Amino acid sequence: MEVIVRRDKEAATDLVARLVVKQVMDDPTSVLGLATGRTMEAVYDRLVDIDAKEGVDFSHVSTFNLDEYVGLAPEDENSYRSYMNKYLFDRVNINKANTYIPNGIAEDLEEECRMYEAKIRAAGGIDFQLLGIGSSGHIGFNEPLSALLSLTRVKALNPETIEQNSPLFPSPEMMPRRAITMGVDTIIKSRRAVLLATGESKAEIIAKAVEGPLTSIVTASALQLHKHCTIVVDEDAAKLL
Ligand code: GLP
């Protein structure tokens, strides 16, 4: 596991956006694993910026998002599909037919999860997985005590995650209590993973994930097992390292 510390949020975000651009330039048919959350908004803004100035061809890329809330239709304004359209897909020349996000209103959720894994395999696996980290230590929505060998499945969200994410909904009760998420093993199998964390509020969980024991209580610690993982943090998030 490689850890890169940048002075501030802007510099850390810029580095991660540059790594995505390099991946797409080196292999225009890359399969990207994408993440959501506030931290990623800045990464996508930066990507759009670089694209406008330098031109990045996303037209042959395919993408798989980490997760989606159960019960939210793709067109719901709080769904991760809407988030991705807003922050990235509507702003670059990506072919939306090649962008995959679990369907949170699938009739058979288990089948939806199995199909999602099958689609990732059929695409040849994920070349580059972008990650944030929740304050519970989750990657995707792999909450504490997720099995390290887990694949895509439905997870109940824990109270800390509900507290962290409910302000993003018009009212806190509107936040779903379950999500479909890629499993820890789905993420570990990606060829390259890049996790971005910024701000002091992430310092404690970053220290646990990077320097603590490998434990399913902090699912991000499973990245210690990843063959090619880079953790990018700003000085605030690196404070306890
Ligand atoms: C959500 C996503 C995670 C992401 C986390 C970080 O919970 N499911 O994939 O890592 O948000 O959120 P933020 O960047 O807002 O701190």
Closest residue to atom 12 of ligand 1, CA basis: 37
pLDDT of residue 95: 98
Determine whether the shortest distance from the Cβ of 67 to ligand 1 is under 6 A.
yes
Closest by CA position to 137, among listed 38, 214, 44: 214
Instruction: Look at residue 58 and tell me if it is in a domain.
Output: yes
pLDDT grade for 193, boundaries at 50, 70 and 90? very high
CB 103 within 8 A of CB 74: yes
Q: Look over the chain and give the mean of its residue pLDDT values, rounded to a whole number.
A: 97
Average pLDDT over every residue of 97-103:
98
How far apart are the CA of 155 and the centre of ligand 1, in A? 15
How far apart are the CA of 51 and the centre of ligand 1, in A? 24
Instruction: Look at residue 239 and tell me if it is in a domain.
Output: no
What pTM does this model have?
Answer: 0.97
Determine whether the shortest distance from the Cβ of 141 to ligand 1 is under 6 A.
yes
Give one DSSP letter per residue of 72-126, joined into a string: --TTSTTSHHHHHIIIIITTS---GGGEE---TT-SSHHHHHHHHHHHHHHTT--
d(CA 162, CA 172): 8
- For residue 96 the two structure tokens come to 């939306």
Determine whether the shortest distance from the Cβ of 157 to ligand 1 is under 6 A.
no
Q: Which domain holds residue 65?
A: 2-234
Determine whether the shortest distance from the Cβ of 101 to ligand 1 is under 6 A.
no
pLDDT of residue 142: 97
Q: Which of 9, 39, 168 to mutate to test the pocket of ligand 1 (most atoms within 8 A of CB)?
A: 39
Determine whether the shortest distance from the Cβ of 163 to ligand 1 is under 6 A.
no
Share of the chain above pLDDT 70, in %: 100
Taking only the tens place, the pLDDT of each residue in 133-187 is 999 999 999 999 999 999 999 999 999 999 999 999 999 999 999 999 999 999 9
How far apart are the CA of 12 and the centre of ligand 1, in A? 16
Q: Spell out the residues 6+ positions from residue 86 whose beta carbon is closer than 8 angstroms to its own.
A: none
Instruction: Look at residue 241 and tell me if it is in a domain.
Output: no
Could you identify the atom of ligand 1 that is nearest to the CA of residue 39? Answer: 14
Assign residue 131 the CATH number of its domain: 3.40.50.1360
Taking only the tens place, the pLDDT of each residue in 24-78 is 999 999 999 999 999 999 999 999 999 999 999 999 999 999 999 999 999 999 9
Closest by CA position to 193, among listed 33, 41, 12: 33
Instruction: Look at residue 240 and tell me if it is in a domain.
Output: no
Q: How many folded domains does the chain comprise?
A: 1
pLDDT of residue 212: 96
pLDDT grade for 80, boundaries at 50, 70 and 90? very high
pLDDT of residue 25: 98
Instruction: Look at residue 134 and tell me if it is in a domain.
Output: yes
- For residue 2 the two structure tokens come to 């490689």
Q: Which of 133, 163, 201 to mutate to test the pocket of ligand 1 (most atoms within 8 A of CB)?
A: 133
pLDDT of residue 151: 98
Closest by CA position to 237, among listed 203, 211, 212, 205: 203
pLDDT grade for 214, boundaries at 50, 70 and 90? very high
Instruction: Look at residue 44 and tell me if it is in a domain.
Output: yes
Instruction: Look at residue 45 and tell me if it is in a domain.
Output: yes
Average pLDDT over every residue of 18-22:
98
